[in-house]
Homo-oligomer: A and B are copies of this chain.
Amino acid sequence: MPLAPWRSLLARALHKNRKLPYARYFQLATLRADGRPANRTVVFRGFLDDTNQLKIITDCRSQKADQIDDQPWGEACWYFPESREQFRLAGQLTLVRADYPDQALQAARKTTWQELSDPARLQFAWPHPGEARTENNGAFSPPSPDPEQPLPNFCLLLLEPIEVDHLELRGDPQNRWLYYRNNSQEWSKQAVNP
């Protein structure tokens, strides 16, 4: 699959903002069961090899996992403070749980786990997120999980954008472009008013 035309712009933004660790964070909106939107910060974990899919990780015990099962659609909003630009990436979400049937995606889930830091892996051995706070603080210092084999609640989450809105606040006037993918997987680009 060819790289989407917005990929090089996103790579440029990541490079320009590389001094800010939090420039790799973005906000992912999904839909709650009651039809209202939900929104939280997630960490960009790179692209799935040879695709335009953004990798994120999540715990299958988190609310967003259930939300994505019901409505596998999301919009990422990614603001880059140093270069003052925003990408909005709307598309399909794929939640790769421990029992996901596709073997290639299972392998990607495993690799993503192996690439995490020890503290990041440890969080998946913590008590159930969102439940009443576990009083025993020892529960947050569990034995280190196997760095090779993902814990069962570890999920790889993929976002495959089909619509990208790129806004550059720098420039007078500002610049904004929309990118759309059609059913033949071809991308088109349009300059729009900011």
- Residues of chain A touching chain B, judged by Cβ–Cβ distance below 8 Å, are 20, 22, 25, 27-31, 35-41, 71, 73-77, 79, 81, 86, 88, 90, 123, 126-134, 137, 140, 172-173, 176, 190-194
Contacts and interface: CB of A to CB of B under 8 A. Distances in A.
Copies in the complex: 2
Closest 4 CB pairs of A and B: A29-B29, A140-B173, A27-B27, A133-B191
A29 B25 contact: no
Given A36-B90, A173-B140, A25 B193 contact: no
18 contacts: A27-B77, A28-B39, A29-B29, A31-B31, A31-B35, A35-B35, A37-B39, A37-B73, A38-B90, A39-B77, A39-B88, A40-B77, A40-B86, A41-B86, A132-B190, A134-B193, A140-B172, A140-B173
Contacts of A36: 31, 71, 73, 75, 90
